[in-house]
Structure 1
Amino acid sequence: MNATDDAQRRVLELLWKDARRPARGPRRGLTAEQIVAAGIRIAETEGLAALSMRRVAVELGVGTASLYTYLPGKAELEALMADSVGGDDPLPDDWPGDWRAKLEAWARNDHEGYKKHPWVLQLVATVAAPGPNLLRWMDSALRVLEGTGLTEAEKMAVVESVDAYVRGQARLGLDAHEPSADEMRERDAALRELVDFERYPALLAAVRAGVAPYAGDKFEFGLRLLLDGVEALIASKRAPTS
């Protein structure tokens, strides 16, 4: 087992072996939950880049060394933070309606959450250790698709596809620069002067129809197309065979 495997094992043990209570150190004092809450406050107000064991210690008014009696290090802290994020949100199967309504509600809720708390998107992209809350969420998401006729592999593919779509759209939204009206006018004037759009007939047709590339919220359109595909797959499973 190499160093990476050892670190992964430590993170998983912390998540799953009731290690949120200190293994050593004072019987009274901090809890891992308090440390995680402090880490989340820092990420929320200062961004994930500001997170460190030293910064968390300052937030809690303790010495940095004392934190290591509760958590081995920053990687373990981030794993606990990732597992706690969204713990109070409805699970996919808690939303009302049929499978499609549940997936739509879950996707919209997660998308809005990522937009409001962008540090969460960064955190879940870097933490690979699945904790209890993550597996509870995955179990719930798979239950949404029970009775659809999909195979277990297809159910997992649907859940992972919708999750990847939501994260990807959220990431695009975070990375995108929203130009001002003046910037848009200056850009468009420069493009008209510099670019022969007749060389791009399909794009020109779209622009003449009033469609601006890289503008507007495409989330709902893409989600509808994705779920239309899932619905077609489910329908094919139910279609009578000749």
Structure 2
Amino acid sequence: MSRKSTGIGDPAGLIAHLWMPPTSNAGRTGLTVAKVTAAAVELADAEGLEALTMRRIADTLGVGTMSLYGHVIGKPQLVELMCDLVAGRLYSGSDLPGSAATWQAGVRQIADRNWEHLISHRWLAELAPGRPVPGPGATGKYEIELAPLDGIGLTDVQMDLTLGNLLGLVESAARWQIGLDRLRAASGVGDADWWEQVGPLLATAMSGHHFPLAGRVGAAAGEHYQASGNPLEQLRFGVDRLIDGIAELIGTIGPR
């Protein structure tokens, strides 16, 4: 399930908006909660959370700012609605992990789809973990992602822990990738050129210090990546090791 939260102060109001949205037709402005939320997602995808203000959303929709408050209480609630909206879209129109040939393939599919999800909606990585209020989108995502883990020998709690660890690996790698992309864009310098500048300076600064393991492993990794690292490769390595661990666990507690 979603691990994000904006610290919303009105859970009852949020739950009502998530699970019991108004069914009446849009008023004079043509606004609905769904329309406001979709516009906010589009703006955040293009410009990030910093650009997400009620005024900007209102301008996008061609209405006055105060018109939005008849549909959402404010930005914290709106971000929660945005999270749930994009969560509900993640597996729309695609093969589901529970339909994969093996549970291992289903786990890898979850990792790949969540990686694509976070890279597409980079503002999600800006949100701090907290106490999310799950809506239909997040709950549906949770249901779908538990499916390949069901019936393989894990307890219900172990299923939740496995999925949580898997999504944590994805989020960590995606945050790193997003940070790298921002640095590259801001500096206009690629990794190889950056290292050509930094490498000699660092070698001079480290002269006289002895780090045999760091030197050996760092040199091998740098040669392999041709960069400071590769978030996606790190993610796939971590997912494979998680799968190995789960396979060993279920091998000790009963048949698949």
Matching of residues 187-206 of structure 1 within 5 Å: 187-196=198-207, 199-206=210-217
Q: Work out whether residues 53 and 75 of structure 2, in 8 Å CA contact, stay in contact via their aligned partners in 1.
A: yes
CA contact (8 A) 2:99 2:106 kept: yes
Q: Shift in Å at residue 5 of structure 1?
A: 7.9
User: Is 1:107 matched up with 2:111?
Assistant: yes
CA distance in 1, matches of 2:194, 2:141: 43
Tell me whether 1:118 sits opposite 2:119 in the alignment.
no
Checking the alignment, whether the CA contact within 8 Å between 1:20 and 1:33 is kept in structure 2 is: no
* Higher radius of gyration, 1 or 2: 1
| Separation of aligned partners in 2, 1:96 and 1:12 | 33
Report SS of the residue matched to 1:69.
coil
* SS of corresponding position for 1:231: helix
Matched, 1:14 2:26: no
Alignment partner, residue 215 of structure 1: 229
Matched, 1:133 2:137: yes
> 1:225–1:182: structure 2 CA closer, same or farther, 3 Å change rule?
same
Query: What is the match of residue 53 of structure 1?
Result: 54
1:113 positional shift = 2.3
Deviation at 1:224, TM superposition (A): 1.1
Is 1:173 matched with 2:201? no
Q: How many Å apart are 1:227 and its aligned residue? A: 1.6
Q: Secondary structure at the match of 1:87?
A: helix
Query: C-alpha separation between the residues in 2 aligned to 1:49 and 1:155?
Result: 35
Q: Give the Cα–Cα distance (whole angstroms) in 1 for the partners of residues 127 and 75 of structure 2.
A: 12
Residue 32 of structure 1 aligns with an amino acid whose one-letter code is V
For normalisation by structure 1, the TM-score amounts to 0.84
Instruction: Specify the code of the residue in structure 1 equivalent to 2:75.
Output: K
Query: CA separation of 1:13/1:174 partners in 2, compared to 1, >3 Å: closer, same or farther?
Result: same
Tell me which amino acid in the other structure corresponds to 1:151: T
- Cα contact 1:197–1:204 (8 A) shared by 2: no
Q: How many residue pairs end up in the alignment?
A: 233
- Deviation by residue 1:176-215 (Cα, 9 ceiling, x = unmatched): 345533321121112222214761111222245x322842
Task: Give the 3-state SS of the residue equivalent to 2:72 in structure 1.
Answer: coil
Distance 1:229 1:27 in 2: 57
Instruction: Give the deviation of 1:117 after TM superposition.
Output: 2.6
With over 3 angstroms needed to count, the CA separation of the structure-2 counterparts of 1:5 and 1:40, relative to structure 1, is closer
Q: Deviations over 1:4-34 (max 9, x none)?
A: 7851222122212x224469x8377221111
> What is the root-mean-square deviation of aligned Cα atoms in Å?
2.7
1:127 CA displacement: 7.4
Structure 1 residues 55 and 190: CA distance shift in structure 2, 3 A: same
What is the distance in 1 between the residues matched to 2:168 and 2:208? 34
Return closer, same or farther for 1:26/1:144 CA change in 2, 3 Å cut-off. same
Paired letter, 2:13: R
Q: Look up the match of 2:3.
A: none
Aligned AA for 1:109? R
- Segments of structure 1 that go 5 or more residues without pairing to the other structure are none
Contact 1:48 1:123 in 2 (8 A): no
Contact (CA 8 Å) 1:79, 1:127: kept in 2 or not? no
Distance in 2, matches of 1:61 and 1:74, equals: 18
Counterpart Cα distance in 2 of 1:153 and 1:105: 21
